[in-house]
Amino acid sequence: MSDMICVGVIGGAFGVNGEVRIKSYTADPEAIEDYAPLQTEDGSKTFDIQITRGVKQGFAARLSDVRTKEEADALKGVRLFAPRDRLPNLPDDEYYHADLIGLSVYDTGGQLIGKVRNVLNHGASDILEIAIDGKSGTTLLPFTLAAVPTVDLTAGRIVADPPDGLFDDE
């Protein structure tokens, strides 16, 4: 498991005074401010964050050392990370996306299906993007208790019971 967890992403400049748009990945979106200072994935930059107001699909915020629209625009797409020990412990049935990516996925008969490439969320619920073993494509698997009855982080594996026909064409 990674020591750093992605808690948000910078969407670019908001206005002309150095504010940025932030999309928060935390359960309580405003809590992203509580986990500061946040850092870039490579650890090269660290930011304190102050949310200034809500905006469509996130927040407007001030980041330390970002004063101009050009500086804010240059950060578009930068993912923000916080140390795991600064984040709350999760209940047994919840997982950080970073912990799921890379896990092997097996069917209920023990046959390897593939590996989790990404965790997507388009509003309703999480979806696992599975890179199919021995194939170039991926398949999307709903991350529900019915489709994914077992997640074993210690063993690095997921047991999936996918809907009929989901992996038939693979």
19 located within any domain:
yes
Does 82 lie in the same domain as 12? yes
Is the domain of 57 the same as that of 122? no
pLDDT tens per residue, range 8-35: 999 999 999 999 999 988 878 889 999 9
Final residue of a structural domain among 86, 120, 135: 86
CATH of the domain at 76: 2.40.30.60
Full residue range of the structural domain in which residue 107 is found: 97-160
**Rounded CA separation 125/100 (Å):** 15
Q: What is the pLDDT of residues 47-60, one digit of tens each?
A: 999 999 988 888 99
- For the chain, the domain total comes to 2
Q: Is residue 35 assigned to a domain?
A: yes
**Is 164 a residue whose pLDDT tops 80?**
no
Q: Are residues 58 and 101 in the same domain?
A: no
Q: Is the pLDDT of residue 76 over 90?
A: yes
Each residue's pLDDT tens digit, 85-142: 988 888 888 888 888 989 999 999 899 999 999 888 776 788 999 998 888 889 999 9
Same domain, 60 and 119: no
Half-sphere exposure (Cβ direction) of 124: Cα atoms closer than 13 Å: 4
First to last CA, the chain: 29
Please indicate, yes or no, whether residues 70 and 108 belong to a single structural domain of this protein: no
Q: How far apart are CA 170 and CA 167, in angstroms?
A: 5
pLDDT of 170 > 50? The answer is no
Reference 101, options 119, 84, 88, 114; nearest CA is: 119
Contact 41, 3 (CB under 8 A): no
Domain identity same for 76 and 32 = yes
β-sheet bridge partners, residue 156: none
Cβ atoms within 10 Å of 14's Cβ, excluding its own? 22
Q: Is residue 168 part of a domain?
A: no
Q: Determine the Cα–Cα distance for residues 51 and 29; give it in Å rounded to an integer.
A: 11
Q: Are residues 82 and 101 in the same domain?
A: no
Residue 142: give its domain's CATH number: 2.30.30.240
Last residue of a domain, one of 86, 108, 128: 86
pLDDT of 43 > 70? The answer is yes
